Chains A and B, each alone.
Chain A
Amino acid sequence: MKEFMMIFRNDVDQPKPSPEQMQAMVQKWQDWIGGIAAQGKFVATNALGFQGKTINSNNTVTDGPYAEVKEIVGGYLICKAINIDDAIALANGCPVLTLGGKVEVRDVMVFNK
């Protein structure tokens, strides 16, 4: 089994959900993650917050991720899978996909000790 990271991306401009919608979303995320964990393939997950700053190559610090991009990374999940196709199968059902977003799946590199 190898480790893969799923990176959740979505448009910066999203409609603001109501408290009920937020509650429902929390449950959807938890159900999806629970499904991965039930297969014994869950490693870690985190959501990223709204405190975004970027340090640039000219050493200036600007607000937000990148000023020009319309897409923002909302969080990640690290899973264990046999190969990338297996990981993609796990990404199926990820709630971000129902919101018009995408899941980027990348392998986590292993450096021999």
Chain B
Amino acid sequence: MTENQLIPNLFRSEYSKIIAVLCKKFGLSNIQIAEDIVSDTFLKASETWGLKGVPNNPTAWLYKVAKNKTIDYFRHENTFINKVLPEIKNKYTNVSIVKIDLSEHNIKDSQLQMLFAVCNPIISIKNQITFALRVLCGFGIDEISNALLTNNTAINKRLTRTKKKLRTEKINLKFPNNKELEVRLDNVLTILYLLFNEGYYSSTSNKSVKKELSIEAMRLLHMLLNYKPTSVPKANALMALFCFQSSRFDARIDTNGKSILFKNQDRKKWNYELIEKGEFYLNLSSKGIKTSKYHLEAAIAFWHSRIETNENEKWNHILQLYNRLIQISYSPIIALNRTYALSKVKGKKIALTEALKINLKDNHLYHTLIADLYNKIDKEKQINHLKKALKLADTKNDKLVIINKLKALNN
């Protein structure tokens, strides 16, 4: 690792840890103070290390400076309170009591609590994701706006609003009790699922940004899996899904950032270690009684990864899984994917009849599917639907795929 990568990398890994520990100690409402302390610490690092060289143990150095800065801050706060507002009782009357515990154990605990505090349904989903990227993943503002395809002003607004909401709603870092845990965990899993998809389906052509989002989602999920009360079958199923999908990351996008369709992917670029991990987590997830949508999606992803399996058998399994999935969780994409699987099992004609009933006429993927089903059956209708799809498609990538299909037809 080059020296100019060191600080950004440390920022990524240590920012969230120190913030979590500070917030656990001083309350989530003081998160701004925590952020300032950590930012100052890194600023000091970049100044000092530039002059004196990188210390032998950079992390320990950062922790030491962060601790000192925290004590400094409260000493000043103490002064302010002692001199200006002597009537108000201060919890920390003795500054030396301020002990910051940056042990591995406390870091883990604090980060878990922070994860639940960030993924709180009181905050809008968009803001939960933005906040998570900042506070849990240590992303810079630039990086976040890049990843979420917006600008710095918008991101800063979201963060300010979120912190304000945390204060007004008095959200704290207390870990949810047994009664609330299941519902709150569901919400956390939803956020991680969305975060992963931001990376997996994101329309930004920046391949490394996409990967990072998905990797972060997996890292945070891993935290949950390492803690017994949250290592439930559903969470394992979600990890299985993440593993299967990310195994194809390198094969899905070419060097120019364009998507490669599944059937055209170079299988040698699949990450088989991740596929094995996926199977491991899929097995773990089967130890429960309830089947969640993550179980079904993971199972579908599993079958897609099994290239040696007979096509008929594979698609039969996939169709049955989609049948169940669409009953518990409807979405246009699932409906269209199910129809595609139907065409593989029962042929294009039957699938076409069902597909036309779906009638998602404002969805470009719907028209692409219909066009595919009309292939070699009715060229005029096929072209018609591809043209409709082109009008509705909104990203360059998607438009390109459709244009290529139209080109192939004209030859």
Contact = CB atoms under 8 A, between A and B. Distances in A.
Interface stretch (A11-19, A27-35, A96-104): A27-35
B357 A34 contact: no
B330 A34 contact: no
A42 B358 contact: no
A77 to B, nearest CB: 10
A31 B358 contact: no
Tell me the interface secondary structure of chain B in the complex.
Answer: helix
A30 B324 contact: yes
A35 B320 contact: no
Interface in A31-61: 31, 33-35, 37-40, 42, 45
Contact of B323 (A30, A39, A40): A30
A31 B330 contact: no
A33 B322 CA distance: 11
A59 to B, nearest CB: 37
B338 A34 contact: yes
Interface string B303-329: 000000000000000011011101100
A39 B330 CA distance: 9
Residue from A27, A30, A34, A45 whose CB has the most chain B CB atoms within 10 Å: A34
Contacts of B327: 33-34, 37, 42, 45
B70 interface: no
A40 B330 contact: yes
Contacts, number: 43
Nearest to B338: A38
Contacts of A37: 323, 326-327, 330, 335, 338
Contact of B322 (A34, A42, A45): A34
Contacts of B358: 38-40
A36 to B, nearest CB: 9
Interface string B148-176: 00000000000000000000000000000
Given A40-B330, A42-B326, A35 B335 contact: no
Interface string A69-108: 0000000000000000000000000000000000000000
B357 to A, nearest CB: 5
Nearest to B360: A40
Contacts of B339: 38
B186 interface: no
Complex A-B, nearest 5 residue pairs according to Cβ-Cβ distance, in ascending order: A34-B323, A37-B326, A30-B323, A38-B335, A37-B327
Given A30-B320, A38-B335, 13 more contacts: A30-B324, A31-B319, A34-B319, A34-B322, A35-B354, A37-B323, A37-B330, A39-B357, A39-B359, A40-B330, A40-B335, A40-B358, A45-B327
16 contacts: A34-B322, A34-B324, A34-B326, A35-B357, A37-B326, A37-B330, A37-B335, A37-B338, A38-B335, A38-B354, A38-B358, A39-B335, A39-B357, A39-B358, A42-B330, A45-B327
